[in-house]
C-alpha cells in the first residue's frame, strides 16, 4: 500500500528548515569564526621566516637547513632510514632526494621542491623532507 508524505512548500525559508534556538546559531557562528581564525594563524606561522628544509625520519626531526640563496654552496645531507641512507641535496633550486635505497625511486624522480608546504616523501625508507617558511607567491596551492 502506498503512503503519502507531505513535502515542504517550495518557498519555505532556510531558517524555518533548520531547527535550533538563537543561541545555537550564535554558537555556530562563533565556531566558524574560530575555525577561520585558526586557519589564518596556522598559515601565517607556516609562511613566516625564511624558507627552511626540514628532514624527518618517521616523526623524528633529523635536520633543518635554510634554502641557500644565489652564490651560496649546496648542502648535502645523509638521512638514515629503514632501508638505508637517503641523500638529500639542498641548493638554490630547492631540496631534493638525489639517492635512496627504495625500489620505486619516486622520491628521486620528484625533483627539487622549494615552495612553502612542499613535501618529498620516501615512504619505504620513512624519510620526509618538508619545506616551511616564506614564499613570495600569490598561489593558494601548487599541484604537480
Cα–Cα distance between 95 and 120 in angstroms, integer? 9
At residue 43, the pLDDT reads 75
- Looking at the DSSP bridge assignments, the partners of residue 106 are none
| pLDDT value, residue 12 | 59
One pLDDT digit (tens) per residue for the chain, 144 residues? 566 666 666 555 555 556 788 898 899 999 999 999 998 887 777 666 788 999 999 999 999 999 888 889 999 999 999 999 999 999 999 999 999 999 999 999 999 998 888 999 999 999 999 998 765 545 555 555
pLDDT at 33: 95
C-alpha cell at 39: 586557519
Domain 52-132 = CATH 2.90.10.10: no
Coil, helix or strand for 94? strand
Residue 141 has a pLDDT of: 56
Report the distance separating Cα 89 and Cα 131, nearest Å.
Answer: 13
Burial of 79 (C-beta count, 10 Å sphere; 0-12/13-18/19+): buried
Pairing relationship of beta strands 94-99 and 85-91 according to DSSP bridges? antiparallel
| Structure confidence at residue 40 (pLDDT) | 86
pLDDT score at 143: 58
For the chain, give every domain's residue range. Answer: 16-46, 52-132
pLDDT of residue 133: 79
> Pairing between strand 85-91 and 75-80?
antiparallel
Amino acid at each position: 500500500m502506498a503512503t503519502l508524505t507531505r513535502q515542504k512548500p517550495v518557498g519555505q525559508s532556510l531558517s524555518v528548515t533548520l531547527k535550533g534556538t538563537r543561541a545555537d546559531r550564535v554558537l555556530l557562528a562563533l565556531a566558524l569564526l574560530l575555525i577561520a581564525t585558526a586557519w589564518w594563524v596556522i598559515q601565517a606561522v607556516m609562511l613566516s621566516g625564511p624558507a627552511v628544509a626540514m628532514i624527518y625520519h618517521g616523526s623524528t626531526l633529523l635536520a633543518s637547513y635554510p634554502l641557500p640563496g644565489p652564490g651560496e654552496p649546496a648542502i648535502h645531507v645523509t638521512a638514515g632510514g629503514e632501508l638505508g641512507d637517503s641523500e638529500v641535496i639542498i641548493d638554490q633550486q630547492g631540496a631534493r632526494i638525489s639517492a635512496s635505497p627504495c625500489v620505486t625511486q619516486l622520491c628521486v624522480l620528484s625533483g627539487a621542491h622549494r615552495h612553502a608546504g612542499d613535501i618529498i616523501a620516501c615512504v619505504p625508507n620513512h624519510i620526509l623532507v618538508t619545506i616551511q617558511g616564506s614564499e613570495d607567491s600569490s598561489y593558494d596551492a601548487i599541484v604537480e
